[in-house]
Structures are given as C-alpha cells and as structure tokens.
Amino acid sequence: MVEDPFSGFRVLAFDLETTGLDTRRARIVQYALVGSDSEGDIISVNKIIDPTCKIPTEASSVHGIYDEDVKGKGVFSEHAKEIHDLLNDTVVIGHNVLRYDWPLLTAEFARIGQLPPKPHATIDTLRLAKRLRIPGRHDLGTLCRGENISLNNAHDAAADAGATLLLLWRLMAKFPRHFHRSPVELENWILSGDSETNSLGPGIEDLEPVEGTGGKIRKNGDRLVLNFGKYKSRDLHVIATEDPGYIRWLCSPSGPLSEDARKLVKEIL
C-alpha cells in the first residue's frame, strides 16, 4: 500500500440524494459525509433535508425518500453550518462530485446567500477511474463490482459515500505509483494528467497563449492555465471546482475574454 497522501487531513467522502438531475434547480433531500478527521477519528454523518418542494416520483423511486420522510427534518439553511464546517478545508472524495454534487451544493448555498465551503482538494473517483484508464463503464456500481466492493443499498447517500471511499483506497492499493503526491497535486493530476514541465522548466510566460485570449489563458500540455489575476498559473478545472463564481464571471460578457475565448472555456469545462 502506498504511503497515505491524506495523512494529517480531514478526509470525507461526500454524496447527495436530490429531487432531480438539474444542478441549478434540484434540491437536496439527503447528504452523507463518511471518513475521518485529521487525527484519524471517524466521522459519519447521514441526514435527511426537507427540500421545501414536492419530491418527484421518479426521484423517490431511485433513492427511496418520499415527501413524508422529509417532514420535520429541517430545511437546508438549518443544515448549512454543519455541512460548511465539515467540508471546508477538507479533502473531499466523491463520485462525479465535480459535475453533480458540488455544483448542486453550491447552488443551495447561493439560495440562502452564503458562500459554499472551500475544500483543501477534491478527488473525483469518476475522473480518477478515467485517468487510470480503467476499462468499461465508470459508474460507481460497475467500478465497485470490479473491485469486489459490496454496494447493496445504491443511491442511498451514506452507502454511496462509503463505497466511494473504499473504492479510492482499493485504487490506491492497485495503482500505488500514481499516489505519491500531495492531495492538491493528486487533484491536479486527476484533472489534467502529468505536466510536461517541472519547477525548473519553462515559466507561464513561455507557454503557448490560447488564440483570442490576449495571452490571458495559456496551454500547458492538455491543460489550460490562467495568466492573470488572483488565480494566475492555476488550472481552469481546479478554479471551476474551488470558485465557480469566478468562472462564471470569466465567461460573462463583462469578463476579460473575447466571445470566442469564452466559448472555448465553456466547451472545456
């Protein structure tokens, strides 16, 4: 087994069950956080939330949570502090978390006028499986079966979070050479692959500028990095995870990019 790259960090697998698939409109009905704190003590949180709207039958048929189950469970604003405190500065583990769970959580915080938590790093096991070139489908159930992980109660947030965490440990044991990295380095590798340069290699000004950006965005292998502002030298995928509002501004007409450059960024993200 590779030396644990997460030692000394709070590490939590995170999963949501919701009213639908639209990350802008769906509401959370269940959240689960499974893992440990920086001292290694176990953390296990599994709670139901009243979404303040009717849960569609098709959603209930997937996760088994119905309107009567959420009565009196508290609305999102009543759970927000606990969620924020647990996820802030945490190594967050999730399956398809970057495209689904995190944008949906961010939208819930926006509705109550609060900033979302900012993870130390986010490890998406769906993207990790793709980076490791694991053959076949990359949904959680298929990957768990491939690693002999029992997932008897799929689409329950706690079961999915626990299975996701175990999947990560199995992949770390199976492919140890890829995990000799800090959490942030691991996140960047999963999103962008190995950099062709090192600390003694070319600086950002030596990288090829993306056409139409005036040099504000540059290519570093298959990555795109910013060359201005508070996120200078940061990967666009990482910024989108940590500060989606900044990406929305970057892609808006009031931002610094041309229309073609905005379209390119949107396509990539």
**Confidence band of 199 (pLDDT split at 50, 70, 90):** very low
Mean pLDDT, rounded, of the chain = 88
Cα separation, 243 vs 247, in Å, equals 7
Q: Is the pLDDT of residue 6 over 50?
A: yes
What the chain holds in terms of domains, given with CATH numbers, is 11-182 (3.30.420.10), 208-268 (no CATH)
* Token output for 114: 């609060």
pLDDT for position 250: 86
* Percent of the chain at pLDDT exceeding 70: 93
Task: Write out 2-53 in H/E/C secondary structure.
Answer: CCCCCCCCCEEEEEEEECCCCCCCCCEEEEEEEEECCCCCEEEEEEECCCCC
Mean pLDDT lowest among 42-46, 178-182, 183-187, 230-234: 230-234
pLDDT for position 206: 67
pLDDT for position 220: 77
For 111-158, write each residue's pLDDT tens digit.
999 999 999 999 999 999 999 999 999 999 999 999 989 877 667 899
Q: Is the pLDDT of residue 200 over 70?
A: no
pLDDT for position 198: 38
pLDDT for position 221: 72
Q: Is the pLDDT of residue 1 over 50?
A: no
